[in-house]
Amino acid sequence: MKKNKANDEISTIGLHPISDVDIKRLSDLKRIGIFGGTFNPIHNAHMLAAECARAALRLSCVVFMPVGVPPVKKMVETAAHRLAMTKAACASNADFHVSDYETSNDQISYSYNTCLAFTHQFPDADITFICGADAFMKIAKWRNYEELLSLVNFCIVTRPGIMEGALDDFTTRIEKKYGKKISKVRIPALEISSADIRSRIAVGEKVRYLMPDEAVLYAINNGLYMRKLQEPRAKARLKKDLSQNRYEHSLAVAEEAVRLARIYGVDEDLAYEAGLLHDCAKGMSPDGLPPDEAGYNIEFTEYEKSKPATIHAPLGAVRARTVYGVRDAQVLNAIRYHTIGRENMSMLEKIVFVADYIEPGRYEDESIRSARLAADTDIDAAAELKKRRNRFEHS
């Protein structure tokens, strides 16, 4: 971060500095809106609220400010995901900017601190804090709310569920008490909430048109808000679809993948899921597979088309998604590439690739013995042995 006098001042009062990206984007602006929220996930009512506030108050820019650690204990997706998802949603709008001010550190985020830092950094700007009516009605619970009220302007957007009469009474009382004009912006009522979207995704419902497409894509690709694999159900299904031997092999690969995940610092749950489901389409044909809600289609490589023994891997990735509800792209890729591998495999992909080769139930020949010996210290060497075997068997 470049040397910046205002940031020195901000540090002196115990706050963390504002990033160069924010400074570059916001310096010289006359009217800045700050729109705080958990954005867990961001949705269309947020986008509409920001745009209506911008237009009504002639703001030069609305800064979306995903909260880092919320003051009120709330289970939220990681800050990194919420930040990236909000950025994806706002990328196409030049009037919107997304700040990492609150997500870039692990202290509890208070709007007062954020606004204080921003008023220091941008002393010539008129700063307006934008919030929904439901949030504003609870302002007396916010840290330093009285100071915050006198520090910045407030813009309240209407929200279904909050009667305007009650909102107006409350606003008038605040205005009188603090001698402060508060703007109200009436926006077209959208009965959308992040909580509702989370429960829809968890049961596999579509959320298109409730959220910007880019944010839907981000959430789905990163497996956000999905229910984790329901293990007993998944096992029962596998047992039905696979031979007894193949089922036992799947359990063994899952265990072996977890063991390797522990060694190589990879998420053990993901390793278990991918190991368990890697052969879930073994012996099946591509016919009759339902396309899933993201229109995820199987694309076979030329090689796979010519080797029927390998298609259960790409097929398995689709089946893991559609039948078993797996949404994590890393897990799906580990299943997708467990037979023939690919260039630049992720560690999870290598783990499942190797676990499939060396799980204890497999007959030990020379190549497998060497792979077993190598796996714990040099996973690439173990993977190479399987690739060599593949080249030999599929040539």
- Name the site residues for ligand ATP (rule: CB under 6 A): 37-40, 45-46, 49, 131-132, 134-135, 157, 159, 190, 192-195
- CB closer to ligand ATP out of 4 and 144: 144
- CB closer to ligand ATP out of 85 and 238: 85
- CB closer to ligand ATP out of 161 and 283: 161
* Beta-carbon contacts of residue 263 (< 8 Å; ≥ 6 apart): 376
CB of 308 to ligand ATP, least distance (A): 48
CB of 187 to ligand ATP, least distance (A): 6
Cis upstream peptide for 286 (omega within 30°) = no
- CB closer to ligand ATP out of 214 and 248: 214
Show the DSSP H helices in the chain as ranges: 5-12, 20-26, 44-57, 79-90, 111-121, 133-136, 145-151, 164-178, 194-202, 213-221, 231-241, 244-264, 268-277, 302-306, 312-322, 329-336, 347-358, 366-375, 379-394
303 HSE (CA, 13 A, CB side): 12
Amino acid at 291: P
CB of 39 to ligand ATP, least distance (A): 5
Burial category of 14 from C-beta neighbours within 10 Å (exposed 0-12, middle 13-18, buried 19 and up): exposed
CB of 226 to ligand ATP, least distance (A): 17
- CB closer to ligand ATP out of 29 and 197: 197
Q: How far apart are the first and last CA of the chain?
A: 54
- CB closer to ligand ATP out of 39 and 324: 39
* Beta-carbon contacts of residue 321 (< 8 Å; ≥ 6 apart): 292, 296, 327, 332
Antiparallel, parallel or unpaired: β 126-132 and 96-98: unpaired
CB of 2 to ligand ATP, least distance (A): 31
Query: Nearest CA to 160 among 51, 45, 43, 57?
Result: 45
| Alpha-carbon separation of residue 9 from 12, 22, 61, 106 (angstroms) | 5, 17, 24, 21
CB of 79 to ligand ATP, least distance (A): 13
CB of 129 to ligand ATP, least distance (A): 9
CB of 49 to ligand ATP, least distance (A): 5
Residue nearest ligand ATP (C-beta atom): 132
* Beta-carbon contacts of residue 308 (< 8 Å; ≥ 6 apart): none
- CB closer to ligand ATP out of 132 and 223: 132
Other Cβ atoms within 10 Å of 27 Cβ, number: 12
- CB closer to ligand ATP out of 82 and 249: 82
